[in-house]
Amino acid sequence: MGSMEPEGGRLFFQAETFETQRQERRRLSSRVIDEPAQPVAVHTECDVLVVGGGPAGTAAAVAAARLGADVVLMERYNHLGGLSTGGLVIWIDRMTDWSGRHVIRGFAEEALSRLTRDMIAGPDRADWGSHDPEKVAYWALRTAAYHDTVTHSPTLDPEWLKAESLAMVLEAGVHPIFHAWGARPVMEGNRVAGCIFESKEGRRAVLARATVDATGDGDLYARAGSGFDTEVDQRDIHGCMNTAWMLAGVDMDAFLRFRAETPEQYSQFMARGREAMRFFERPVVSWRNDVAVFMGPRLSGYSALKVEDLSEVEIKSHQLMIRHLAFYREHAPGFSDAYLMVSAPQLGVRHGRRLVGRGKLTREMWDGRTAPDEIGVSPPLSPKFANISVPYFSIVPADIGGLLAPGRHLSCDATSHSFMREIPQCWLTGHAAGIAAAIAANRGIEPAEVPISELRRNLAAQGAYLSPTRAMAEA
C-alpha cells in the first residue's frame, strides 16, 4: 500500500502488507544504571564528517571532497551503498519523469554509468518515456514500466555498486572509517561539532566543522535535540520493514511467462502461497536471469527505532525465506533448482524519523511550483502530477546548527515521504548536502547560511538536474 495524504486521503500505492502482533519475546527490565563520566579520545578532525555510508552519505562525501573539503565518512557496516547494496534493494526506482526526461542526475547518474552491461539491466535510454504497448508490457514485468510508460528504473549487481561507490569515495580523497557506529553528536551549545562513535577501539570521537547526518533514521539529529516526526499509517507500505533475499539457480524468464501468459494459474499459485504461510512474497527480476530477488514480506506494526522490533522482523524474515525457498521449488515454474544465494545484511527500513526542518516538502508542492531554494527535481508518483522541486531547507534542521540531514529522514510530510525515501532521491539530497557542508565548513558559516545561488552553481557544475526556469534565471 502507499502513503496517505496528510488529511487522511486515499493510499497511493497498492502492495500487500502483513500486520503482525508483536511478541513479548523477553520481559524487559525497568532498572537503570549510571554510566560513569570518562574522557573520549578524539580519533581525528576534519572539515566535513558524514555519518552513514548509504546512498545519501556516499553522495554527500564525494560531493564535499570534490569541492576541496577534508572529508571523513563513517559507516557501521563493511560496505557503502546502504539499502541499495546491503539491503538488496537492487531495483533503483524511477530516475526519469513521465516524459522520459532524466531528472535524477549528478552523483546518481555518474555512479550508475560506471556499471557495465553485465552489472546492470534496464531499458535503453531511447526507450525512456516510451508508451509502445509491447515495450511497456515487457518492462512492466521487469520493474521498469508504470502507468503505460517505460522508465529509467534499472536493476543492478549490489557487489559492483559497493565496489564502484568505494572507488568514487577513494578517488575523491574521502577518508572512510568502517565498522564505526555513530552513537552521539558532539555538541557545542546548540551546534553539532562532530560525532562520538563506538567501535572495537571503544568510544572515540571525530570533530568536524560541518556534519552530515546520513543515518537514515535521524539518529544524530534526534540526539542533538532536533524536532522530528514519527507518525505513519499502519496500512502504509512505508511503515513496514522486511529483510530481502536472493535465490539463484532460477529461470526468471520462465516464471515471468507463467505470470503473464497464464494469469489464472498464477493467481491460484499466489493464493496457495498465502494459504500455506500467509506472509507470502513474489519474486522480482535482478540484473541477470538466473537470480531472483524477494524483498521479503512487508511486516507492519513494528518500529524501526526499537531494537526488539528490529530483532523480531529479522527472525520472521529469515524463517520466511526458508519456507519460500521450499514452496517455490515445489510449485513455481523456473524455480525447481533454486537455492539460497544471500540474505540482506541490512534490514529493509522505510521510515524511522522525519526531520522538523527550516523548510518542508509537502503534498501541496506537487503542483509544479519551483522552490526558491531548489536543490533537485524528483519524478512524481504518477503522470497526473508535475515534477516535484526539492527544497534545500528540507534537509536543514530548524532547531540545531552545524548539521545537514539528507536522505529518507528529511523534512517532509508522510505522503511525500513515499517517494523521497527512495534511493535516487537519497542520492539527490545527499549530493546537495555534501556541497552545502563543504561551503559551510570552508566559510565558517552555518548550513542555514549557505548562499543558495552558490550551492546551485556547484550542483550544476557536478551534473545535477535543476528546473530549467530556475537555471535560466541564474545563468
pLDDT digits (tens, 9 = 90+) for 183-234: 999 999 999 999 999 999 999 999 999 999 999 999 999 999 999 998 876 6
Q: What is the pLDDT of residue 297?
A: 87
Pick from 347, 431, 424: nearest CA to 93: 424
Q: What is the pLDDT of residue 3?
A: 37
Q: At what angle do helices 158-172 and 55-66 cross, to 10 degrees?
A: 20
Q: State the Cα–Cα distance between residues 432 and 372, nearest whole angstrom.
A: 15
Whether the CB-CB separation of 156 and 55 falls below 8 Å is answered with no
Query: How many CB atoms within 10 Å of residue 275?
Result: 9
Q: What is the pLDDT of residue 21?
A: 60
- The distance in angstroms from the start CA to the end CA of the chain is 42
Pick from 121, 51, 55, 47: nearest CA to 85: 55
Q: What is the pLDDT of residue 25?
A: 73
Q: With a cut of 70, list the residues of the chain below it in pLDDT.
A: 1-24, 233-236, 238, 470-475
Q: Using CA atoms in the order 452, 453, 457, 458, what is the torsion angle rounded to 10 degrees?
A: -30
Instruction: Tell me the sheet residues that pair with 206.
Output: 44, 195
Question: φ, ψ for residue 150 (rounded to 5)?
Answer: -80, 135
| 90-126 pLDDT, tens digit each | 999 999 999 999 999 999 999 999 999 999 999 999 9
Q: What is the DSSP letter of 413?
A: -
Pick from 406, 409, 358: nearest CA to 64: 406
Instruction: Tell me the sheet residues that pair with 123.
Output: none
Whether the CB-CB separation of 313 and 297 falls below 8 Å is answered with no
**DSSP E strand boundaries for 245-368:** 245-248, 284-285, 291-294, 298-300, 339-343, 348-349, 354-355
Pick from 145, 190, 178, 222: nearest CA to 75: 178
Q: Which residue is it, cell 557542508?
A: 437
Q: Which amino acid is at 62?
A: V
Whether the CB-CB separation of 347 and 310 falls below 8 Å is answered with yes
The pairing of beta strand 298-300 with beta strand 17-19:
parallel
Query: How many CB atoms within 10 Å of residue 53?
Result: 32
Q: State the Cα–Cα distance between residues 8 and 1, nearest whole angstrom.
A: 14
Predicted model pTM: 0.93
Q: State the Cα–Cα distance between residues 394 and 354, nearest whole angstrom.
A: 10
CA atoms within 13 A on the CB side of 199: 20
